[in-house]
Amino acid sequence: MATTPTQETSRLGAIIDSCREIAQDVNFAAAKQWLQENPGKKAIGCFPIYCPVELIHASGMLPVGVIGGGNQIEISFADSRFQSFVCSIVKSTLELGLTKRLEFLEGMLFHSICDPARNLASVFQRNFPTMFVDYIHFPQNFASPLARQYLATEYRRILDHLQQRSGYAPTADDLNHSIRLYNRIRSGLREIYRIRAETPHLISAAESFVLSRAGMLMAPEAFEKILDEVLAELPGRPTRPKDRIRVVLEGSFCELPPVELIETLEEAGCYILDDDFLRGSRWFTEDVPIQANPLFSLAESYSERACYSGTKHDTREVKAAHLINLVKEKKADAVVFQAAKFCEPALFDYALYRKTLDDAKIPHLLLEFEEKTWIFDRARSEVETFVESLLFD
């Protein structure tokens, strides 16, 4: 039955509202509901940035993005396990565990992104001895052809551990089925980002953020349907362009900024055309090929078709050049570098980005954030001043 534009718009609004609720739920109700509906199945938590979720899915388990507690929990116990100069996501993720919010998980996967993440994996092993905790070592030397072979072997090791937990040994067909499913999801997210960059009034950065985040907390099959609906509804959304500057946002690839902070940036006069929020959910720039050896295909894709990131040290490419290209490709006026406080990978990158942006005469603004923020007046006035300096230059 045909629907009126108003109904289409309200349906889109309802989807986004529901995703916002899921995205901010530190009790993981959506994942727990899946477990209730699938008796005997298990769920595995995935710390950022990129996790090979296909390995978990093909083993018959649910991958769940565990990415800190945002501004939804108080840190009461985790402070005693970490130094004060450690980023918030590490503490709030541990707090989720110490407050028993992660008891529904069979295990957690961490990755070699930085020292705090490595330490967090060890702290989890020490504090939750019955939980399956593993740590994926990604290759560091992408120039070597052995990097892909090494990573395929690392994935084999992880898969063996996962199947011990799930009781099911996935076949190559199972893995390729999961790769196809996540290819469709990544492609849907890339399409939302393309629409946002070309017509930023149709969907805001805060809206695409809650959509992507909710997708990491539910069954991928359910999220694929949501993405299809959003993509069908978006072109008809009755919204008008506003007088805003066009920016690319960089530096928030791991710890999640409060949704309200993203909204503040937008309300202060920015169209955020592209960002690196939840980078892991859009890790590949194109589909992972379907091959007879799916583990090698995933490993090769990590090396050959992954996006650039502050936590991926690829000496074959200059990260700052990627950022400049992104600014040109999106026809952005400026870059907002929004880094989590104490995030070394992001802040090290900033030094390099800053010089390259200065040399290219691209205006930029640095904002630091912490998960636990509720008042955004300072960020608002900094961004408003930045926007005015560009609009009335």
CB of 387 to ligand SF4, least distance (A): 27
Q: Is 311 in the site for ligand SF4 (CB under 6 A)?
A: yes
CB of 343 to ligand SF4, least distance (A): 3
Which residues make Cβ contacts (< 8 Å) with residue 197, sequence separation at least 6? 273, 274, 330
Verify cis geometry, omega within 30 degrees of 0, for the bond prior to 179: no
Q: Is 255 in the site for ligand SF4 (CB under 6 A)?
A: yes
- Candidates 359, 344, 364; CA nearest to 250 is 364
Instruction: Return the number of the residue (188 or 310) whose C-beta is nearest ligand SF4.
Output: 310
CB of 90 to ligand SF4, least distance (A): 5
C-alpha distances in angstroms, 102 versus 31, 99, 165? Answer: 11, 8, 16
DSSP string, 265-322: HHHTTEEEEE--TTGGGG-BSSPPPP-SSHHHHHHHHHHHSBPP-TT---TTS-HHHH
Interface map 117-146 toward ligand SF4 (x if CB under 6 A):
x-----------------------------
Q: Is 276 in the site for ligand SF4 (CB under 6 A)?
A: no
Which residues make Cβ contacts (< 8 Å) with residue 200, sequence separation at least 6? 241, 244, 246, 271, 272, 273
Which span sits near ligand SF4 by CB under 6 A: 9-17, 112-120, 142-150, 243-251?
A: 112-120
CB of 255 to ligand SF4, least distance (A): 4
Torsion of CA 349, 342, 98, 312, to 10 degrees: 10
Interface map 220-239 toward ligand SF4 (x if CB under 6 A):
--------------------
Q: Is 340 in the site for ligand SF4 (CB under 6 A)?
A: yes
Q: Which of 73, 89, 270, 273 binds ligand SF4 (CB under 6 A)?
A: 89
CB of 280 to ligand SF4, least distance (A): 11
Q: Which of 56, 133, 152, 254 binds ligand SF4 (CB under 6 A)?
A: 254
How far separated are the first and last CA of the chain, in Å rounded?
51
- Candidates 119, 125, 116; CA nearest to 97 is 125
Which span sits near ligand SF4 by CB under 6 A: 35-43, 159-167, 265-273, 344-352?
A: 344-352
Contact 202, 191 (CB under 8 A): no
Q: Which of 87, 227, 306, 383 binds ligand SF4 (CB under 6 A)?
A: 87
d(C-alpha 20, C-alpha 230), whole Å: 14
Contact 116, 110 (CB under 8 A): no
Instruction: Return the number of the residue (52 or 188) whose C-beta is nearest ligand SF4.
Output: 52
- Candidates 206, 323, 193, 214; CA nearest to 265 is 206
Q: Is 61 in the site for ligand SF4 (CB under 6 A)?
A: no
The site for ligand SF4, by CB under 6 A, has a size of 15
DSSP string, 79-111: GGGS-TTS-HHHHHHHHHHHTTTTTT-SEEEEE
Instruction: Return the number of the residue (151 or 254) whose C-beta is nearest ligand SF4.
Output: 254
Q: Is 65 in the site for ligand SF4 (CB under 6 A)?
A: no
Instruction: Return the number of the residue (38 or 119) whose C-beta is nearest ligand SF4.
Output: 119
Q: Which of 52, 107, 116, 170 binds ligand SF4 (CB under 6 A)?
A: 116
Instruction: Return the number of the residue (113 or 159) whose C-beta is nearest ligand SF4.
Output: 113
- Candidates 349, 366, 362; CA nearest to 390 is 362
Instruction: Return the number of the residue (207 or 349) whose C-beta is nearest ligand SF4.
Output: 349
Instruction: Return the number of the residue (87 or 248) whose C-beta is nearest ligand SF4.
Output: 87
Instruction: Return the number of the residue (64 or 113) whose C-beta is nearest ligand SF4.
Output: 113
Contact 65, 43 (CB under 8 A): no
Which span sits near ligand SF4 by CB under 6 A: 114-122, 220-228, 267-275, 287-295?
A: 114-122
d(C-alpha 259, C-alpha 210), whole Å: 8
- Candidates 191, 179, 142; CA nearest to 288 is 179
List residues near ligand SF4 by CB under 6 A.
Answer: 87, 89-90, 113-114, 116-117, 254-255, 311, 340, 343-346
